[in-house]
Structure formats: C-alpha cells, structure tokens
Structure 1
C-alpha cells in the first residue's frame, strides 16, 4: 500500500478520533459562558465546535481501539459529553454567582420588580443583575476568556485523554462542592451594597419607632434605592477583583477535575 492509499481501518480510526473530540468540545461549548449563550444560534455553536475539533484532533495521541459504531463507542460518547458539560458547568457558575449576588441586593433595595430577560440563560433576572452580567462578560472577553475556554478543552485531552475510563465519583463530588464557591463569590459581590441597605433599613426602623406617623413608604423606599445604587456604583471596580477570583478558582477546579479518572 502506497503512502497515498487509505484502508478502511485507518479511516474508521480517524473518524472515531474526530468524533470523540467533537463530542467533548461541543458539550463544553453548549454549556460554557459566552459560547453557550441563548443569543448565539445553535448552528454557530456547532460550527465552532466542528472547527475547533478539526484543529485539535490531529495533535492528540492515538485514541482507544474502538469501532465508531459499536456499543463501547456509545459509552465513550457519553463519557466525553459528561466531561465537556462538567467543565462548562463550572465556568458557567462563575457568572451565575454574580447574578445571584446582585439579585439579592436588588430584592433588598426594592428593585425586584424591575426584571429583564437574561440573554445568557433565557430567564428573568433584575435589571441590575443583567447590567453586572454584561459588564462581567465584557471583562471576561478583555481577559481573553474565550481563548482560555479553548485552552482548557485542549489541555483536557492531554491530562484526560479519550479512554475507557471516565470521571471518577470524586470528580462529581468536586463539581458539587464547587457550589460553595458559588455562594462565596455571590457574597463577595453583594456584601457592600447589602450591608449598606441593611443599615438603611435598620435606621428606618428606628425612625418609625420615634415618629410613628411618618410615611415610611414615601421615604424609606427611595432612600433604600438611592443608597443601594450609590454603593453599587462606588464598589463597581471590585467586580473585576471578584471575577478574577472566581475564574482562578474555576480553572483550578477544572484542572483538578482532569486528574480524577476511574
């Protein structure tokens, strides 16, 4: 056989190697922030996943000797999808932490009625949460976060190559434990404004005891909104610090995830 001839076995081997790569990359792109946003058409995401997989799979070590259209291949497909979803889910929680933190502040300020459709997840969130989410996305892009996502998925094939083994039970426990970091990040984002609003509400409570005839709804609600907005504007630069902290924690968790194999 000359170097320009291909056998059926080699073609099936290349097809299998490409499919394992494609399923992992596509699963991560469907869940990860920015790539998995609702405003990005599915066709665009599939095209990006196909292009990235086409660029990645020639550099990968040889995969398992499994026929692409067998029961064992189906198991490998499920494993690659789980690996991609796990990594994308951890990154997505970074931005969910920001949304939850600002949503808590909005509710305590009395702006819970001002809701907006979140274009990232397709759900209703307060306007302030949507504003901070857009700012976080712009900061993420300024940090080359989209390239970081591609680098993470490429590194995953080096640290966790396609094989018969998948993520271990400890890996799924690590993903569940990542939720504690979610609430920590939400607390870091919301704490200054939430504290200021709490102080205002306590002051209004003291005033109501001193002057029972005072119309608290006419004074308390505008005062709470004004104080909350002023504190959010003053502490807006801290959003970058919180985002960097959460991204570093997420990438560290994903790196540890690749080492947890059955």
Structure 2
C-alpha cells in the first residue's frame, strides 16, 4: 500500500506552488503574456506547465506549510518578484505607446482614439500601431523567451525561502520608469521635428497671407505629411527597439540584484 506522509505532501506542493506563483505573477502583467486577449485559463495553464518544467532545476526549497504565517509571507514575496519583473518589461512597451501618443498629438490624430483592452482605457490609434509593431519585433527577436529565461535566473539570485526583499530593487524599478518619457521622446523625435517644421511653415504662411485659412489646410497637410513620414520612419525603428528591449532585460537583472541587496 502506498503511503504518503504530510511532510512529503508539503514538499511536493511547495516544490511546485512557489515557482508557479512567481511565474503566474509575471504572466499577469508582462507584455505579450499579460494581454487581455489571452484567456485567463490559458495563462494559468501555461504558468503551471512552465513551473513544472523548471521545478527540478531551481535550488532546494524549504518545506514550509503554505497555510502558515511564513508560507503566506513567501507567497506575497513571490507575487511581488513576478510583478516587478513583469512591470520592468511593461515599461518598455509603455515607452513605445508614449511615442505614438506624441506623434498622434503632433499630427492632429490625438482625437482618434478607441478602447484598448490591454490598457483598460482609450488610446490613440498611432499608439496602438506602435505597440503592435513593437510586439512583432519582440517576438521576432525571441524577447518572450529571454524574458522567461530572466524569471528562471531569479530563482538563483532570490531563492525561495528568504523573507526579505531589499528596497534597492524598488528604487531601480522607479528609476527605470523614466524610460517611458526619455525613450518615448527619442523614438518619436524624427516625426515630431518634421511635423513641427510643417506647423511653423504654416504659421509663417498664415502671417504672410492672412486670407488663407490655416485651419482648413493645416490638418490635411499635417496628416498627409505624417503618414508619409510614418511609412519612411517605421521601417527604420527595429534597431532602436531591439536596443530598448535589451535595456529592459538588463533592467530586470538590476531589479533582481537590487532585491538581493547587491
């Protein structure tokens, strides 16, 4: 007769549950995996399969009852680690969407918005376009696999069982948040500069010929020039986005090292 002790049951449960919680927290907020178009059951199933695959390779996990006070603290720790890693990569895509907002505002398309399920709010059309392009490039360079590799490495730097997360990790995450504005502005800068020149030329034309209504010709010219520039600039963005994704993966390492107090 097969007999299983309580300690063995707790050992099997914790060997799977703690990695599962950390990975599932990552999938809840990370780009691509955290999209609302993916069913929740699919996310849970994928996280469970991934946790089973990596469980034998992670450092030994102490046998702690999940329902105990210590177990609840470890559970909260795994959730915070997964969310921090996911938000670090999410910031990269927020920078891309911010670039789309900047360009749309300069082109006069900021009023063309629709509901974006992934953001839970109305977003500009160009912002959504930039996000789709960035997502395709992210898949093309296997960014999703690199992100999964990053979460696996966290089990070595932050082994399960330590109940302290150093505050430096949150500081690195907050500092990395400035990328939303800096990288977003750099990505949109060529289009912003060209469209600003067009607007200045229209302003000078309005002063030289007051009878010409800038409002009647300005919007069509700005939109037409903006669409032409998008067709020219967008194919040149992959190298910039690849560097941005690489910087995001490096930021995840800094966040994890910060949690470890390094």
Which band: TM-score by shorter chain? over 0.9
Unaligned segments of structure 1, at least 5 residues: none
Instruction: Pick the aligned partner of 1:113 from 91, 108, 111.
Output: 111
What residue in structure 2 maps to residue 48 of structure 1?
Answer: 46
Instruction: Pick the aligned partner of 1:27 from 10, 25, 28.
Output: 25
What residue in structure 2 maps to residue 58 of structure 1?
Answer: 56
Answer with 15-24 or 109-118: which moved more.
Answer: 109-118
SS of the residue corresponding to residue 117 of structure 1 reads strand
TM-score (norm 1): 0.94
Please state how far the C-alpha of 1:23 moved relative to its aligned partner.
Answer: 0.8
Aligned mates of 2:131, 2:4 — CA distance in 1: 50
Which runs of structure 1 show a deviation greater than 6 angstroms over 4 or more consecutive aligned residues? none
Instruction: Pick the aligned partner of 1:10 from 8, 11, 23.
Output: 8
Structure 1 residue 81 corresponds to structure 2 residue 79 = yes
Please state how far the C-alpha of 1:5 moved relative to its aligned partner.
Answer: 5.8
Aligned mates of 1:101, 1:95 — CA distance in 2: 10
What residue in structure 1 maps to residue 240 of structure 2?
Answer: 242
Answer with 184-193 or 81-90: which moved more.
Answer: 184-193
Unaligned segments of structure 2, at least 5 residues: none
Answer with 129-138 or 32-41: which moved more.
Answer: 129-138
TM-score (norm 2): 0.94
Answer with 8-17 or 41-50: which moved more.
Answer: 8-17
After TM superposition, the structure 1 = structure 2 runs for residues 121-200 of structure 1, keeping only pairs within 5 Å, are 121-200=119-198
Structure 1 residue 71 corresponds to structure 2 residue 63 = no
Aligned mates of 1:223, 1:211 — CA distance in 2: 17
Instruction: Pick the aligned partner of 2:35 from 27, 37, 44.
Output: 37
Q: Is the 8 A contact 2:107 2:226 kept in 1?
A: yes
What residue in structure 1 maps to residue 210 of structure 2?
Answer: 212
Q: Is the 8 A contact 2:138 2:245 kept in 1?
A: no
**Aligned residue pairs, count:** 260
CA root-mean-square deviation: 1.7
Aligned mates of 2:147, 2:174 — CA distance in 1: 21
Answer with 32-41 or 235-244: which moved more.
Answer: 235-244
Aligned mates of 2:40, 2:63 — CA distance in 1: 31
SS of the residue corresponding to residue 124 of structure 1 reads strand
What do residues 31-51 of structure 1 show as CA deviations (whole Å, max 9, x unaligned)?
000100011111111111111
